[in-house]
Amino acid sequence: MHTGTAVGCPHGGRASAAGADAHGVLVDGLPAATGSLVHTVTGCRHTVDGVPVPCTTVRWTPRGSGVTADGKPLLLEGTPGMCFTARLVPQGQPVVPPAVHEGVVCG
């Protein structure tokens, strides 16, 4: 995954990377996403008993062994993640469509 990978919440919200690590690894010309990356969610329509309880962030839990950049695990397709409310209540897994990558560049 890279910092521009389309990520969403299970309620139709869109998530965008809130920053990027400067590690020099590019995927499809964009910085590779690491496990420390938090995505900010906008447009979530989730409600509980008619009260809006939107997803606000997506946080990732990369596996302990795998590909790293500067010692930080990279987010790969299938890396576990969770969408959270502003009060850090879990709301479900993020939606990440399958991607076709043109290439990985280290530099």
- pLDDT at position 90 is 97
3-state secondary structure of 106: strand
Identify whether 74 is part of a domain.
Answer: yes
Would you write out the chain's pLDDT as a tens digit for each of its 107 residues? 888 888 999 999 999 987 766 677 888 888 888 888 889 999 999 999 999 999 999 999 987 767 888 888 888 888 999 999 999 999 999 998 776 555 555 55
Identify whether 29 is part of a domain.
Answer: yes
| Neighbouring residues of 23: CB distance < 8 A, sequence distance ≥ 6 | 31, 32, 34, 69, 70, 72
Identify whether 27 is part of a domain.
Answer: yes
Q: What is the 3-state secondary structure (H, E, C) of the chain?
A: CECCCCEECCCCCEEEECCCCCCCEEECCEEECECCCCEEEECCCCEECCEECCCCEEEECCCCCCCEECCEEECCCCCCEEEECCCCCEEECCECCCCCCCCEEEC
Structural domain containing residue 46: 7-106
Identify whether 41 is part of a domain.
Answer: yes
**Which amino acid belongs to residue 69?**
A
Render pLDDT for 63-92 as a digit per residue (tens, 0 to 9).
Answer: 776 788 888 888 888 899 999 999 999 999
- pLDDT at position 103 is 56
For the chain, what is the domain count?
1
Identify whether 2 is part of a domain.
Answer: no
Identify whether 1 is part of a domain.
Answer: no
